[in-house]
Structure 1
Amino acid sequence: MLNIETYKPERFSDLIERIWIADNFEKEVNLVIPPNQYVNLVFPLNSSKFNRNQIRINTPQIEGISTQKTVLTYPANTKLIGIRFFAFGLYPFVKLQGKELINNSIPYPPDTEKIKKTIDFPMDECDTNKIDKLYNLLSELFCQKSYDDISPIMNFYNQFRWEDETHTIEDYCKKSETNYTSLNRKFTKIVGLSPKGFERLIKFRKSLCSLIDSEDSLTSIGANSGYFDQAHFIREFKIFLNQTPSNYKALIKQTDKQSQIINYNFKLF
């Protein structure tokens, strides 16, 4: 059985969505993760190995945001700890071009002995100490200049992810006095998508969260997620998941609710 514990970030909360620890105690588990706007820094613990899209992984990884489904396979006795960043959140710590990470997972190589010691997790160490070590690592890596660079992206994200009222990107740029060309350049460099491409991903994820976490009608979910009409909602949903919203909701109902896998993947703090 796969158990996933999630923790609200106590530091860097504007960059980190959550910290998570996954334990698979029994038989092999397969997960199909829908497209998402998060970047994960993942550390296999206790010599754990797992597969990502049929590629074996046993070293620390940076998993980029995805516009397509990802298949994860966790063998028995797998244990992982990870930091789930917002799409822009990794950049102040690890300055990677967004295009390197889109739909991709790359090894994260600690480049100093100090950092190697920071992420050394003894087998019997408690989870609290592990999380403290992650914060120590992030403090070592943090760059204020890179943080300042992502400010326009953070503002854009806060508008389109958390605001109830839906605006077009053009309206947002006019209202916030943001130059679209400059915003587009930063998005392409840091996130790997254009603002319009990222907006589509955000709308899809908003609809996906509502589809799982609420009893609202599909019409309401589509409208509240920013889609013009039901046909637009269904069309976009099928592009990302190759399924209609109603078919996907039926599929979710068949999953093992006790696993909390769905809650880990969708519920927000």
Structure 2
Amino acid sequence: MQRWYNNIDPVLKDVIQSILVLDSNDPPAPEDLPIFTNGMPALLCTSLDQEDHLSLFGKAVPTERWAEWGNATLIAFFFKPFAIGPVFKLSAQQLKNEVIGLNRWNPQKAMALTIQLTYAQSTAEKMEVLHQFILSQVTANQRECAIIRYATDKILENPEADVLGQMLQELNLTERTFQRIFKKYVGITASEYRRICQFQLAFYQLKSGQFDKLTDVAYANGYFDQSHYVRSFKEFTETTPNDYLQFGLKKK
């Protein structure tokens, strides 16, 4: 089996995480597959006997699915978290539970893309066709792609309570419009996402031991006081910070 990663065009670096090509006469063994491919949303093109099949995976391409394609050539464009939804105008709910064939997503676009792939003379040409297709989708849905990318990155970097109000001003959006777009493509509200990011940053600090007392962790991560931090920790882990430090999460 031949396996390689392709360079990402700078114009797609905000939405594409990596591009993987598998060209093989034998089904790839599970150990041949990069671990991260099992948890990344992807546009997957399988080419076999001059037929091309295109599918969207919202959260994962299961390991067993790779082996099913046998000696097909596989081209996978792996998307950054939350990017695939706005690029293809698909909600998080639609992407959550099923694989979406491109012909079901948009029959006209899928047919046009399949024709282009059929006339491509090499794997490199097929990759260029797919690249141009994704670029056209990003361009067409640029506003919502930019909103989701900016919002998720900003909240992750600064998950304090006032970050949402700051973003509404910077994006020049009403709260209702912003929340609708965010929940559609991320699957949870911006407030819920902020609380998850806030907890994660606090958890990393607790785990690293870079504090003198719990109040240091609470205030450093935007919690009102230690009791609010303890309640949040228990909500996400079903244990308290002190119990975690003493016993670890395996206690539960």
Q: TM-score, normalised by structure 2?
A: 0.60
- Superposed CA deviations along residues 166-198 of structure 1, whole A, max 9, x for unmatched, are 422x32113334555433211122333322454
Which of 143, 164, 170 lines up with 1:173 in the alignment? 164
Letter in 2 for 1:85: F
Alignment gaps of 5+ in structure 2: 211-216, 224-228, 238-247
Which of 161, 184, 191 lines up with 1:189 in the alignment? 184
Q: CA deviation at 1:111?
A: 1.8
Distance 1:121 1:204 in 2: 50
Residue 16 in structure 1 maps to residue 16 in structure 2: yes
Match of 1:156 in 2: 151
Distance 1:9 1:62 in 2: 20
Which one has more relative contact order, counting CA pairs under 8 Å at least 6 apart? 1
Match of 2:96 in 1: 102
Distance 1:3 1:206 in 2: 36
Flag the structure with higher helix content.
2
Structure 1 pair 174/3, CA: closer, same or farther in 2 (3 Å)?
A: same
* Residues 17 and 84, structure 1, Cα contact 8 Å, conserved in 2: yes
Asked which structure has the greater CA Rg, the reply is 2
Distance 1:81 1:203 in 2: 36
Residue 180 of structure 2 aligns to a residue whose secondary structure is helix
Structure 1 pair 45/9, CA: closer, same or farther in 2 (3 Å)?
A: same
Distance 1:204 1:79 in 2: 42
Q: CA deviation at 1:86?
A: 2.9
Match of 1:60 in 2: 54
Distance 1:62 1:206 in 2: 31
Flag the structure with higher strand content.
1
Residue 127 of structure 2 aligns to a residue whose secondary structure is helix
Find runs of 4+ consecutive structure 1 residues off by over 6 angstroms: 30-35, 200-207, 226-229
Distance 1:27 1:92 in 2: 31
Distance 1:83 1:8 in 2: 10
Residue 120 of structure 1 aligns to a residue whose secondary structure is helix
Q: How many equivalent residue pairs? A: 210
Letter in 2 for 1:9: D
RMSD, aligned α-carbons:
4.6
Match of 2:117 in 1: 119
Residue 111 of structure 1 aligns to a residue whose secondary structure is helix
Query: What is the percent sequence identity of the aligned residues?
Result: 16
Q: CA deviation at 1:28?
A: 3.7
Letter in 1 for 2:122: E
* Residues 93 and 142, structure 1, Cα contact 8 Å, conserved in 2: yes
Q: CA deviation at 1:62?
A: 0.8
Q: CA deviation at 1:83?
A: 1.6
Distance 2:86 2:119 in 1: 24
